[in-house]
Chains A and B, each alone.
Chain A
């Protein structure tokens, strides 16, 4: 059969662009100083160990897993704060939607307080807000969840550092090589340019890639505003010509 009649073969993941991704050692973010490897990373093409991943089925999800307003609330109650919808797509570097990706998210409450034993910020807990949710992307890579907009919060780094309002994301695609954790920021937040954690990003383009715009098209009138946040995972190399059995 002519190779023109067959789709190109996946040939491992595109190498991670280390010039684009943050460095390990970023001294203004102080905790990185003693937690950053100093030796060069060992570079190798991906193998089966990195090109496979567990399967997460939609059946494992509970009805409220993607609704942080209700998933920890007492019956008839709901979390306090500005009601928002966060939606978007998980794509790969080739621009294709990634279906079946596990997306987990966690955040502070509307006052900037996390539900955690080691958290000491004086802002109060919201008894109806747990602060975590999860979903699995649809066939086109899309996802959506409802929450309250988190508040900014102070953190021990410099004498007076504040995190911009943000939501943490963990994304698990189709290969262990794609594993990614990142954070979403909100359009227009004046803390973005002051934050040492945002500061590990190397370019304005990288900051923009993590900043979600207000999306009036997806708001629910008289109910919730919406923000759109796409995420991109590493893509598979594609080739007609490579026979990996004969060499790298």
Chain B
């Protein structure tokens, strides 16, 4: 029989303890490039509701990771992506949709200043609940972890969401919900393992 001539995806390797040197060098004190990519998601006045999203990535002992890198990717307030692959319309020109955070050097807490995302459709045309996609890498993580950040205050949309509604263990769904805090920010902590382990996606 003929061989299938597809290539194999490159094997992943851990980002290691010094991912910040490569991806956020200015954060580590290496003054280069005129700034770190992904620091600012807003490049001017933006449409929609501006939000602050914070969280910490915890290991299985409850210890915060201080050597992780978190990236998020999301549509603008109207549900459009600032991407070359976006065919449904033109996204907010002052919004990049992409953020990258090394977390705080001492506490590990990441912060993103962004906008509340609009809803985007599932491949079958149903609307998904507003969400942000997230990707987490660090020393000890052999392959980057994908998850999604939904919003606790979008109960109706969440209940109708094609992915959230198909999760077998519904008691784990809250691990995917950002919770509004008294100061108005949203909190999304990530637990790599343990009783509150975040749902991670193979997507």
Task: State the A residues within 8 Å of B (CB).
Answer: 12, 15-18, 20-24, 26, 29, 31-39, 41-55, 62, 65, 71-72, 91-95, 100, 102, 104-106, 114-119, 130-132, 134, 168, 170-171, 174-177, 179-183, 197, 200-201, 205-206, 209-210, 231-235, 244-248
Verify B133–A49 contact, CB threshold 8 A: yes
Residues of A within 8 A of B65 (CB): 35
Residues of B within 8 A of A200 (CB): 13-14, 142
* In-complex Cβ contact of B140 among A34, A43, A132 (8 A): A34
Residues of B within 8 A of A32 (CB): 14, 140-142
* Given A48-B81, A134-B33, A209-B11, residue A37 in contact with residue B142 (CB < 8 A): no
**Cβ of A238 to closest chain B Cβ, rounded Å:** 11
Verify B11–A170 contact, CB threshold 8 A: no
* In-complex Cβ contact of B143 among A24, A45, A100, A168 (8 A): A24
Verify B18–A36 contact, CB threshold 8 A: no
Apart from A53-B85, A130-B30, A244-B124: 6 A-B pairs, beta carbons within 8 A: A24-B142, A34-B192, A34-B193, A49-B133, A72-B30, A182-B11
CA separation between A12 and B123, bound complex, in Å?
Answer: 9
Verify B22–A170 contact, CB threshold 8 A: yes
**Cβ of A179 to closest chain B Cβ, rounded Å:** 5
* Given A35-B60, A44-B203, A65-B33, residue A95 in contact with residue B141 (CB < 8 A): no
* Given A54-B73, A95-B7, A132-B30, residue A174 in contact with residue B85 (CB < 8 A): yes
**Cβ of B113 to closest chain A Cβ, rounded Å:** 16
Verify A91–B143 contact, CB threshold 8 A: no
Most buried by B among A22, A31, A119, A130: A31
* Given A93-B9, A132-B22, residue A62 in contact with residue B33 (CB < 8 A): yes
Residues of B within 8 A of A197 (CB): 13-14
Residues of A within 8 A of B139 (CB): 31, 35
Verify A131–B21 contact, CB threshold 8 A: yes
CA separation between A46 and B29, bound complex, in Å?
Answer: 37
CA separation between A42 and B32, bound complex, in Å?
Answer: 38
* In-complex Cβ contact of A132 among B25, B125, B143, B198 (8 A): B25
* In-complex Cβ contact of B30 among A17, A52, A115, A182 (8 A): A115
Residues of A within 8 A of B9 (CB): 16-17, 20-21, 93, 180, 232-234
Verify B11–A44 contact, CB threshold 8 A: no
Most buried by A among B13, B37, B143: B13
Verify A42–B22 contact, CB threshold 8 A: no
